Amino acid sequence: MLEDKKFEAQKKIVFEAFLRNPATMLMVEVETGIMRPNICQYVSEWKKEGRIHLLKKDKCPISKQQAGFYTTNRDLFPRKQVNAVQSKLWD
């Protein structure tokens, strides 16, 4: 039970980090201190739910490697995806 609350709190922190600025998972790990495997799990879950979007692939400022920049800010989602998510909500 306590463990569930810990992960729910982590999910909220990670979600808000992606909401503030598009970022790579490594950038969010450094910002929040939450381990990247956990972030990967949350991103995977949110992808299935349509709550996160891969905005672009570019060089990560931390690793200097090509990486995905994700956002949970719906204003940055492509219109097509936003409409699809909204229609799922009403089904």
Q: Which residue has the higher pLDDT, 55 or 1?
A: 55
* Reported pTM: 0.82
Q: Identify the domain containing residue 80 by its residue range.
A: 2-90
Beta bridge partners of 59: 66
Nearest to 68 by CA among 52, 81, 55: 55
Number of domains in the chain: 1
pLDDT band for position 6 (cuts 50, 70, 90): confident
Q: Give the Cβ contact number of residue 15 at 10 Å.
A: 16
**Which CATH number do you get for residue 33?**
1.10.10.10
Q: What is the pLDDT, as a whole number, of residue 4?
A: 81
